Structure 1
Amino acid sequence: MVLVYRIKPSKPAAVFGAVVGVAVIIFVLVRFPLREPFIWLWLAVAVGLVGFSLWAAFAKRGAEKVVVEDRPQSDS
């Protein structure tokens, strides 16, 4: 039998992730020139980290472990 889990971070871990993401955004904006394409990718990842972390921290069911599906393992 295969158990598939959906695991979200705890509220303190999610808030910490958001704070780290904001620190990364500030660091990149202050230390690196914005004309480099890689910097925009770095900023996009950091914004995604902050967004996901805030969602996980403050969503109604943001910090939980839930069994999504319980199905028999296939032989193929």
Structure 2
Amino acid sequence: MQRIRPSKPVAVFGAVFGLAMLVFGVIQMKDSSSGFVWLWLAAGLGIIGFNLWAAFGRKGATQVVERDDAR
């Protein structure tokens, strides 16, 4: 089994970009009282958390490749 993970700079960039999207979206929807704001917050936090886990987690792999060489 081989774990494939993004490089740390790519994952950190993804987290920073996710934070920018989160802040921009919340500022744009600050006067809205719809439930979409909560969905936007949850999605933004998920993007940030996933990217930080992929960058710094011990098993922060985004893909797992299992090989079966028994032919």
Same fold per superposition (TM over 0.5): yes
What is the 5 A alignment of 1:59-74?
59-62=57-60, 66-70=64-68
Q: Compute the displacement of 1:39 (Å).
A: 2.1
Which structure has the greater CA radius of gyration?
Answer: 1
- 2:68 is aligned with what amino acid? D
- Structure 2 residue aligned with 1:29, among 26, 29, 39? 26
Give structure 2 stretches of 5+ with no counterpart.
none
Distance 1:71 1:58, change over 3 A: same
Q: Is the 8 A contact 1:22 1:50 kept in 2?
A: yes
> Aligned Cα RMSD in Å?
2.9
More strand by share: 1
- Structure 2 residue aligned with 1:18, among 15, 18, 31? 15
Alignment: residue pair count: 69
Q: TM-score, normalised by structure 1?
A: 0.68
Q: Compute the displacement of 1:71 (Å).
A: 7.0
DSSP 3-state at the match of 1:62: coil
Distance 1:11 1:21, change over 3 A: same
Of 61-70 and 7-16, the range deviating more from structure 2:
61-70
Distance 1:36 1:71, change over 3 A: farther
